Each structure stands twice: as structure tokens, then as C-alpha cells.
Chains A and B, each alone.
Chain A
Amino acid sequence: MEVSLTVNGQAVTSEVEARTLLVHLLRENLGLTGTHVGCETGYCGACTVHVDGTPVKSCTMLAAQVEGAEVTTVEGLANGELHPVQEGFWERHGLQCGYCTPGMIMTAAGMLADNDNPSEDEIRHGIEGNLCRCTGYHNIVRAIEYAAAKMRGDEPAAPDWEVV
């Protein structure tokens, strides 16, 4: 079967099986390997992309389900310059091995689109569907706080390593 959708602003049509998962359409048919495959059971969130602006797990959706939808992957997030969340992960070292990073970034971008002033508690619950097996959550939370400040037009707090 064929699916037609918009991926990162570009109209695409691709031949898939009924059982093809969205993440495989993105990675294998379209070569967008920024979206990662982690646990395969819907727990880890490494495969998070936006479908019609909403973060979802692309390993737990059929490619057929996104017929006609607008999909944004981590490759499509920057608009000439880094998205504030990407900048936050860069500036606050929000990663160790980097495997969970694309999913974390897409989840955080979705969260901040709804609420650009989340509490630390809201951020931690907001990334509940994303696992970091390096357990680097502390800096991920700081990275998202950095991005939220940027999106509000505020000055981000100084990095933890400069606070004595």
C-alpha cells in the first residue's frame, strides 16, 4: 500500500506494508535516522516524533495511520538555527551517550509548545515517557529549563557547574 504524508514540510509518498511502523517508514524508506528505535515496546520514547504537532511514539504507530498527516522529526526541528530545546541540550549538556536525545528533544519541544513556563516537577513528569539509560536526567531537566527561559525571552539560569 502507499502512504502520502508531509514530513518536515515536504510532501512524500512511500510504499509500505500494512505492518510497517512509522519509525521504519522514517528511517528506512526516507533515510531520516535521527529518530531512534529503542525499546520497541512503547516505553522508552527514543522514537518520539510529532504527528500534527503532537508528540507520539513512532514505533507504536503504523505508517498507515499517518496518511495525510504532518510529521516532524528531530531533523525538521531547527529552522535555520537550532530550536531552543536543541540549544538547551547543547548549552546544558543534556546528554551522555545521546541515544535518547532525539526523543527527549521532541517530547520537550511538544511540552514547551503547550507551556513555556513549566515547573521542574512538570518537566520531570513531562518526560515520563522517555527513558535515559545513562540516567542523565538532571542535565536534561536543566536543558529543558534553559529552552523554556529562551522561549519566554528570559535569561536562562546559570549552569549548575558555575553555581558555587
Chain B
Amino acid sequence: MYPRQFEYSAPASLDEALAALANNPAAKVMSGGMSLIPMMKLRLFSPAVVVDIGKIGGLDSIEDRGDHLAIGALVRHVATANSPLVQQYAAALAKAASLTGDPQVRNQGTTCGAIAHADLAADQTAAVLALGATMVAKSTGGTREIAAADFFVDTLTCALQPDEILVELLVPKAGAGEGSAYTKLGRRGGESDYAVAGAAAWVRKTNGSVDAARVALTGVGSKAVLAAAVGDALVGSDGSATAIEAASAHAAEGVNVLEDLHGSVEYKTHLAKVYVQRALTAALT
């Protein structure tokens, strides 16, 4: 299975890559290629030009910048998953990266690539929503920051413009009393494969009570979404098992749950509650 023919370039610098995108409205950015290449092979998508950013130096680091971590465009899933910094300060993202794809996919695919791809059942999309991360997009016209909450537009559609590259992901570092977690049911059972349903949770506790919480769902609708009603219900509580259960009941509130091959609306609504409860429990532990 070959993709349709296309023009390939592998610029050595970010500036060259941005110029290539600016000059070719039909160009598509590729980092690891773990989603793009299968789509091209299946001919679901046939870009005229592929700009491979994989040869650009300096984009593969995870940096501690004080109050946040910066994850570069070419940081592989395996690097995100195994990073002591991500594990300590953004546990939901490390966990979501560790459950993305399979070992070979994690060796080649990138965190930023998966986020920009915006699959409706991806793992790290939910994690960045719950963690309140920020995407840094660059084009020849400049740099802009996009909040995770504004980033996921629809299935396979994010807020990036065709001439922009997601150059890094900024994740706030968990401080005292803060915790995050990600849990899911995979399509192949357990936690394997894309999420039938998955939930990421971030919670902050001050003086024994929850004063901030953000929960996000993946796999249950057309895109990863914030389950805002859960956070609202949990804030002000003591974060006990009872409070978590009560808040989790709001998991699908305001969320457009959709049926797919892997489950009915009723089933996915049920899973949303179950996995939100598990994610909150883990985040508060």
C-alpha cells in the first residue's frame, strides 16, 4: 500500500520549514508520521507536499522553565512517558503518553504530533486539557499561544492554521496539593489501543478542601473535551471518595456523547462516569 505521490522535503531548520509551509498552502507537517503515514497509505488524505520536521535539531527536549515544563515538537511519546520531570509535575501526561499506541509507535510518534492530529480517542489530548496546557504555534508571521481549551476544534481538527507548526507544548507544573492522573478503557481491552473512553483529571487541594479541579474526556465524542460540570461539582468538597462519586455523576453533563463501533451512547456515558471517578481518585492519591 503506497500513498499517492507527493513532494517531500526535510528542512534542516525551523525557519526553512515555516517558509516551506508559507509557500505551499497544500503542504502538511509531519513529525513522527505515526498517524499521517497510515492515513496517506489508506488514501484518506493525500497532501501534495509533506514537510518532515524530523531532521530539525533542538526540538526534542523537555525543559523545566520554573512554573511550567516545555515539551518540544519532536519529543517522542516514550520520552514524555519516561521523563522524571513529566512524571513528577504532569503525571496525567506521562501516563497518557505511556498508553499511546504501542512500543514501536511510542518510539517514533511525538507528543506534539498526537496533539496536533487531534484524534477523537487519543490519550494525551485529554491530559493537556485537564492540565490546562498551552500550545505554542509558529508561522513565518510570528508566534501565538493557544490554550488547550481552545485547541481541539473537532475530529482530527485543531486550531493550528495550515502554515503553523506546533513547536512546543507548555504544561503548568503541579505545585503543592496538586495532582493529576489519566485512566482509560482501551479498544483492545485493558489500557491497550485507542480509548473507548478515557479521562484525565487535575485537582488542587488547599487546607483539606478541593479549590480547583479540571477533568477532560476522550473517546466519547467528536473530540477531547473538558467535563466542566465535574470540576464545578468537586470544588468546595473534601475530595473524599463520596465527593468524587457525586462529582463523577456529572461526567457527561454538557458533553456531546456519540455512538461509534466501540459502544453506544449509553455505554460511553457510563464509561465516562467510571473513568472520571478513577482518574479523580488517582489524582487525589
Contacts and interface: CB of A to CB of B under 8 A. Distances in A.
A binds B: yes
Interface residues of B, number: 28
Contacts of B6: 18-19
Of A17, A60, A126, most B-chain CB atoms within 10 Å: A60
Contact of A126 (B8, B54, B103, B192): B103
Q: Which secondary structure characterizes the binding site on chain A?
A: mixed
A61 B105 CA distance: 11
A126 B6 CA distance: 34
Given A128-B192, A129-B103, A129-B105, A61 B37 contact: yes
Nearest to B107: A54
A111 B103 CA distance: 9
Interface stretch (A40-48, A84-92, A138-146, A147-155): A40-48
A36 interface: no
Contact of A18 (B7, B54, B103): B7
Contacts of B103: 55, 107, 110-111, 126, 128-129
Interface in B90-140: 101-105, 107-108
The 10 nearest A-B residue pairs measured at CB: A129-B102, A18-B8, A40-B1, A129-B104, A128-B102, A19-B3, A56-B108, A54-B107, A57-B104, A42-B38
26 contacts: A1-B8, A19-B3, A19-B5, A21-B41, A40-B1, A41-B38, A42-B34, A45-B102, A54-B108, A55-B103, A56-B104, A57-B105, A60-B34, A60-B38, A60-B105, A61-B33, A61-B37, A62-B33, A64-B8, A64-B10, A67-B10, A67-B55, A107-B104, A111-B103, A128-B103, A129-B103
